[in-house]
Amino acid sequence: MMALFRLVLLLFLSSCTAVLADVLIDSGVVSVYSCSENSTIATPQMSANIDSLVAQLTSSTSQNRFSVATYGKGTDQVYGLGQCRRDVNIKDCARCLRNATLSIRTFCANRADVWMWYNDTCTLRFHDSKFFGTVDPSSFTNYYLGDHPQHPSAFKKQLDALISKVSSEAIVPANEAVGKGSSFSVASNATIYALAQCTRDLSQHSCNECLNIVTGNLLKFCNNEKTVGCRVASTACYVHYETYQFYYPLDS
Ligand SMILES: *[C@@H]1O[C@H](CO)[C@@H](O)[C@H](O)[C@H]1NC(C)=O
Ligand SMILES: *[C@@H]1O[C@H](CO)[C@@H](O)[C@H](O)[C@H]1NC(C)=O
Ligand SMILES: *[C@@H]1O[C@H](CO)[C@@H](O)[C@H](O)[C@H]1NC(C)=O
Ligand SMILES: *[C@@H]1O[C@H](CO)[C@@H](O)[C@H](O)[C@H]1NC(C)=O
């Protein structure tokens, strides 16, 4: 099984904190994730509970594109969340969560506090303490790749406006915590596509708070916005932009 996975692990140390930013690239699929060094799987029972938890999440999430679950008792109890983007069908959702699980269990093997945004498609998180509804302002992962924009200051202006638009869409409950859109600007000579997502355990207020923190950090995490594509993820929300259409066309 392992041999099927040709995985390249790139590690970036973010410039401002000691939080390790992790990116996993597997045949073109990019996933951003974090395994906190502060929480380890203490017992075989906890590890078994995590296996049961993610199996349960995979089946319940693919029905509704979102679920939370708790598994086990006492100090071995674990909490989990699964979510798929709102246009992802049941089959792809389950497949995505299985892929995310396999990656997490491989690369975060002994960790009990783990989250991953997999290929813009699904999110999986588990933790040995209850995290539902909370925003962690200290945990970030970022990944950028690509050229400088032709006209950096026009590009930045266009990008900021677009990110603000898709973020305000993501906090509307009817949108299932997803905002997406594109814009073209003559001044920047660029079309930008952007996606903003929150995990659906967050209130509208907390989603807004989370996205404000993440987008407020775009300058810091995206090479001063001097790159044509970047993603910044935290435990509970995620922003991604590119100059090509990187997500499936959503309904509407
Ligand atoms: C781990 O714990 C230390 C000390 O409490 C904290 O400073 C650090 O931010 C934590 N790391 C993560 C990834 O949560
Ligand atoms: C899951 O991973 C397999 C093997 O890498 C890949 O072929 C498949 O497209 C992936 N599916 C999803 C939904 O991520
Ligand atoms: C716009 O970008 C295209 C593709 O990079 C380039 O060929 C063209 O010269 C640019 N036009 C202007 C006005 O900068
Ligand atoms: C990754 O996402 C892209 C865009 O949504 C999709 O076309 C592709 O099939 C996905 N790949 C996998 C392996 O899931």
CB 228 within 8 A of CB 242: yes
Ligand 2 neighbour 99 (Cβ under 6 A):
yes
Ligand 1 neighbour 38 (Cβ under 6 A):
yes
Which pLDDT score is estimated for 1? 32
* Spatial separation of the C-alpha atoms in residues 73 and 243, rounded to whole Å: 47
pLDDT band for position 139 (cuts 50, 70, 90): confident
What's the token pair of residue 116? 């991953």
More confident residue, 103 or 250: 103
| Average pLDDT rounded to a whole number, residues 179-199 | 96
| Average pLDDT rounded to a whole number, residues 169-194 | 95
What's the token pair of residue 193? 């596509």
CATH placement of domain 5-132: 3.30.430.20
Ligand 2 neighbour 101 (Cβ under 6 A):
no
| Average pLDDT rounded to a whole number, residues 212-228 | 86
pLDDT band for position 6 (cuts 50, 70, 90): very low
* Listed residue (30, 46, 120) closest to 84, CA to CA: 120
Q: Residue whose CA is closest, atom 5 of ligand 1?
A: 38
pLDDT band for position 150 (cuts 50, 70, 90): very high
Q: Which atom of ligand 1 is nearest to the CA of 38?
A: 1
pLDDT band for position 199 (cuts 50, 70, 90): very high
Which pLDDT score is estimated for 240? 95
CB 116 within 8 A of CB 123: yes
Bridge partners, residue 70, by sequence: 79
pLDDT band for position 87 (cuts 50, 70, 90): confident
Q: Count CB-CB contacts under 10 A for residue 204.
A: 13
| Average pLDDT rounded to a whole number, residues 74-89 | 94
| Average pLDDT rounded to a whole number, residues 114-138 | 94
Q: Residue whose CA is closest, atom 11 of ligand 4?
A: 29
Mean predicted lDDT score pLDDT of the chain: 87
What's the token pair of residue 95? 């497949």
Which pLDDT score is estimated for 250? 56
| Average pLDDT rounded to a whole number, residues 153-166 | 95
* Spatial separation of the C-alpha atoms in residues 169 and 128, rounded to whole Å: 32
Q: Residue whose CA is closest, atom 13 of ligand 1?
A: 36
Cα 119 vs. chain centroid, distance in angstroms?
8
CA of 186 from ligand 3 middle (Å) equals 10
Handedness of CA 198, 203, 204, 205 (dihedral sign): negative
The ligand minimizing its distance to the Cα of 89 is 2
From-to residues of CATH 3.30.430.20 in the chain: 5-132, 141-242
* Listed residue (250, 252, 228) closest to 241, CA to CA: 228
Which pLDDT score is estimated for 18? 32
Residue 224 pLDDT exceeds 90? no
Residue 7 pLDDT exceeds 80? no
Which pLDDT score is estimated for 137? 84
Half-sphere exposure of 123 (CA within 13 A, CB side): 27
pLDDT band for position 12 (cuts 50, 70, 90): very low
* Spatial separation of the C-alpha atoms in residues 223 and 218, rounded to whole Å: 8
Ligand 2 neighbour 87 (Cβ under 6 A):
no
Q: Which amino acid is at 22?
A: D
* Confidence (pTM): 0.87
pLDDT band for position 20 (cuts 50, 70, 90): very low
Ranges of beta strands (E only) in 14-139 are 20-26, 29-35, 66-71, 78-84, 113-118, 122-127
Q: Count CB-CB contacts under 10 A for residue 17.
A: 11
Residue 14 pLDDT exceeds 80? no
Assigned architecture for domain 141-242: 2-Layer Sandwich (3.30)
Residues 6+ apart with CB under 8 A from 204: 171, 172, 173
CA of 150 from ligand 3 middle (Å) equals 8
Q: Which atom of ligand 2 is nearest to the CA of 93?
A: 13
Indicate the pairing of strand 29-35 with strand 66-71.
unpaired
More confident residue, 44 or 13: 44
For the chain, the distance separating the N- and C-terminal CA atoms, rounded to the nearest angstrom, is 39
Q: Which uninterrupted H or E stretch holds 214?
A: helix 204-216
**Substitution site in 111, 138, 139 for ligand 1 pocket (most atoms within 8 Å of beta carbon):** 138
CB 236 within 8 A of CB 199: yes
Q: Residue whose CA is closest, atom 1 of ligand 4?
A: 119
Bridge partners, residue 198, by sequence: 237
Residue 152 pLDDT exceeds 90? yes
